[in-house]
């Protein structure tokens, strides 16, 4: 089995049972016995056994050879020998004490994020929740035209609630009427109270 496929199966199996702090190390330059070392943490003896059994079953289902896990009796540190990859499932105190990362951690392997099964079967990247589905070319063009029309309409609006493209007639007409009224009222206000109005001088004739 290809080593990349094997390490992907192991990591997916560990994630299925909620393993913590999963790390994969490339050991090809350190030993000829195996190519990968996988280290993961579990919070209880029951979880370490469950993780080891799940990794064993998934690798065997894919056609790989797996030896029976070692250390399942105590559950503090369980080792699963998958041939080209060795999996160490440890509880945090044991992992902190033995520090396998210092021994095998010369070259870590970064795996891609796991995709949902539906997206892998469909052959497309997973779509975020709430995002709109991709549209065809004709639908995209129609949406672009509609957006440009609404943009031009909203740009010509003077205030909310008015019709698109309509000019504020009320404000303009009101302002034009108020200006002549002020002009007529200005001469009247300038006259002193009680003062007789001036008479126009007759032209000399």
Give the bridge partners for 25, in sequence order: 37, 108
3-state secondary structure of 26: strand
**For position 164, what pLDDT does the model report?**
46
**For position 68, what pLDDT does the model report?**
84
Average pLDDT rounded to a whole number, residues 151-170: 45
**Where do we find the tokens 């095998």?**
104
**For position 202, what pLDDT does the model report?**
55
Given a cut of 70, is residue 186 above it in pLDDT?
A: no
Phi, psi dihedral angles at 24 (to 5 degrees): -120, 130
3-state secondary structure of 167: coil
- 193 class by beta-carbon count within 10 Å (0-12 exposed, 13-18 middle, 19+ buried): exposed
Secondary structure element (H or E) that encloses residue 120, with its range: helix 117-122
For the segment 59-69, what is each residue's pLDDT rounded down to a tens digit?
A: 999 999 998 88
- Quote the DSSP letter at residue 35: S
Topology at the third CATH level for domain 3-109: Beta Polymerase; domain 2 (3.30.460)
Given a cut of 90, is residue 95 above it in pLDDT?
A: yes
**For position 167, what pLDDT does the model report?**
47
Given a cut of 80, is residue 175 above it in pLDDT?
A: no
Average pLDDT rounded to a whole number, residues 40-69: 94
**For position 47, what pLDDT does the model report?**
96
Average pLDDT rounded to a whole number, residues 88-92: 97
Average pLDDT rounded to a whole number, residues 62-85: 93
Given a cut of 60, is residue 158 above it in pLDDT?
A: no
What percent of the chain has pLDDT above 90?
A: 44
Residue 20: pLDDT band with limits 50, 70, 90: very high
**For position 106, what pLDDT does the model report?**
67
Longest Cα–Cα distance of the chain, Å, equals 137
**For position 143, what pLDDT does the model report?**
53
Structural domain spans, the chain: 3-109
H-helix segments, 2-73:
3-16, 45-61
């Amino acid at each position: 089995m290809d080593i990349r496929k094997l390490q992907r199966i192991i990591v997916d199996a560990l994630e299925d049972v909620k393993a913590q702090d999963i790390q994969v190390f490339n050991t090809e330059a350190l030993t000829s016995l195996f190519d990968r070392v996988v280290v993961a943490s579990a919070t209880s003896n029951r979880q370490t056994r469950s993780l080891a059994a799940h990794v064993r079953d998934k690798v065997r289902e894919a056609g790989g050879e797996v030896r029976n896990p070692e250390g399942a009796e105590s559950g503090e540190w369980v080792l699963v020998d998958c041939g080209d990859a060795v999996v160490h499932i440890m509880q945090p105190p044991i992992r902190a004490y033995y520090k396998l990362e210092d021994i095998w951690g010369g070259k870590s392997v970064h795996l891609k994020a796991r995709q949902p099964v539906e997206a892998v079967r469909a052959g497309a990247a997973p779509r975020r929740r709430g995002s709109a589905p991709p549209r065809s070319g004709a639908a995209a063009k129609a949406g672009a035209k509609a957006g440009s029309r609404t943009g031009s309409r909203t740009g010509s609006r003077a205030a909310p609630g008015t019709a698109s493209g309509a000019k504020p007639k009320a404000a303009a007409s009101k302002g034009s009427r108020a200006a002549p009224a002020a002009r007529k009222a200005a001469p009247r206000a300038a006259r002193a109270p009680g003062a007789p109005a001036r008479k126009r001088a007759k032209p000399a004739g």
